[in-house]
A and B are shown apart, each in its own frame.
Chain A
């Protein structure tokens, strides 16, 4: 039987800590074969404001939000379908933009 209590660590930027109760690291249970999208879905249930900050209504990651799995930008991998395994880190960070 697969272990279902293992988790990934989601690292939240300081600019969004207010919407996670000032938590900068969130533990999200995942199974082997989970995707970034599924991790975000699970986060959305508990932190709906965080969800709206990171993804729009179409489920797309906002243009100036970057997601890294163990340091690799998911846009260079499989996007939201990128696999993420228990023990890995999902870093949410705003991109360099604005004037």
Chain B
């Protein structure tokens, strides 16, 4: 059992969930696998209300997707009998995969958002035990313009604004960024400035392949986006986007992280190109900006000299500690952690199945 001050790193893979724990974020212990043979594409760690709840979106190739939660750091898991996320008969759809489980702000206890495949956004008000489909987005008139990337057609990022409970940003592949400013009653595409070079019109309103978005911690109207070729920042709540790819070795990648407290600090993990999905030169590195993307610093201390596996969109995370921890896992099953914002990485695990999702948090309650 983790004690107060223990950092928990939840590692979702193609074939199960592992929990790593550390008291110094340098030396790690790895659990036995949970949910063996289930893929784990989404994890949420909810620390509101003095409780640490792990939320896990699991999917069995045979038995389908479901959401589990644990309030004792994986000691026991609970699954609502009728399922936390279920389409109704009139929706005419079946849940394929839960891509995102995102606890809302501290002052909205119990609110958890989910992004799913098929493209859909869901909201829970009971800590992730039952979710309601956002039917406005589900019935959106743009829907016939949304497509499926290689990984499936999904809403993979759901970002409620901590400053305004009516503002929520959603990112989908493919479709792009959508924003609601009325609490999810209506949604508008917000992709101006983001290229969709793979379409006949490279600057469409809809259809961009955004891989991940992240919100600035101090200025909630500033967002960062890693696209299918293209790294962008918006300073106007996603109305317009500008490229911040200069200074990076490549503008392709999946992950996008922002700092838990420092405005303008973000991390990306570049991949060579759409048609050559390996780290540039086979050398894995994290790139960090501290000035909103005007300049980037390559960080690779502790990472292997040769690595030909990529890091997927949710296989990277930060924790809330000071200094912030940075974590990521590769499709080759290696997991790395940095206790100093990316300066030095240590290997937490190796030879796991493909890493799909990581999330980390430091407990303040011993897991209770």
Contacts and interface: CB of A to CB of B under 8 A. Distances in A.
B66 interface: yes
A56 interface: yes
A78 B174 CA distance: 37
Contact of B66 (A52, A54, A57, A94): A52
Interface string A51-90: 0111011101010110000000000000000000000000
Interface string A5-48: 00000000001100000000000000000000000000000001
A98 B61 contact: yes
Given A58-B94, A60-B94, A52 B64 contact: yes
Given A48-B81, A48-B82, A49-B81, A57 B62 contact: no
A60 B94 CA distance: 9
A94 B64 CA distance: 12
Contacts of A97: 61-62
B156 to A, nearest CB: 21
A7 B282 CA distance: 62
Nearest to A97: B61
A53 B64 contact: yes
A95 to B, nearest CB: 7
Interface in B82-124: 82-83, 86-89, 91-95
A48 B63 CA distance: 13
A56 B61 contact: no
A52 B60 CA distance: 12
B64 A56 contact: yes
B79 A62 contact: no
B93 A53 contact: no
A52 B68 CA distance: 14
B348 to A, nearest CB: 25
B83 A52 contact: yes
A35 B64 CA distance: 23
A62 to B, nearest CB: 6
A51 B45 CA distance: 28
Contacts of A98: 37, 61-62
A60 B92 CA distance: 12
Q: Which of A15, A48, A49, A95 is the most central at the interface, judged by chain B CB atoms within 10 Å of its CB?
A: A49
A57 B94 contact: yes
Contacts of B87: 57
A49 B79 contact: yes
Contact of A94 (B62, B89, B93, B95): B62
Nearest to B37: A98
Given A48-B82, A52-B83, A62 B93 contact: no
Nearest to A54: B63
Contacts of A62: 62-64
A28 B166 CA distance: 49
A53 B61 CA distance: 10
A42 B232 CA distance: 53
A98 B38 CA distance: 11
B41 to A, nearest CB: 16
Contact of B95 (A53, A57, A60): A57
B117 to A, nearest CB: 13
A58 B62 contact: no
A44 to B, nearest CB: 10
B79 to A, nearest CB: 7
Interface in B338-365: none
A49 B95 CA distance: 15
A56 B95 contact: yes
A76 to B, nearest CB: 20
B63 A57 contact: no
A62 B79 CA distance: 19
Given A53-B62, A97-B62, 16 more contacts: A52-B63, A52-B66, A52-B82, A53-B64, A56-B94, A57-B93, A57-B94, A57-B95, A58-B94, A60-B94, A62-B64, A64-B61, A65-B63, A94-B63, A95-B62, A97-B61
Top 6 A-B pairs, shortest CB-CB distance: A56-B94, A53-B63, A94-B62, A57-B87, A64-B62, A57-B94
19 contacts: A15-B63, A16-B63, A49-B79, A52-B63, A52-B82, A53-B63, A53-B64, A56-B95, A57-B86, A57-B87, A57-B94, A57-B95, A58-B92, A58-B93, A62-B64, A64-B61, A64-B62, A94-B62, A97-B62
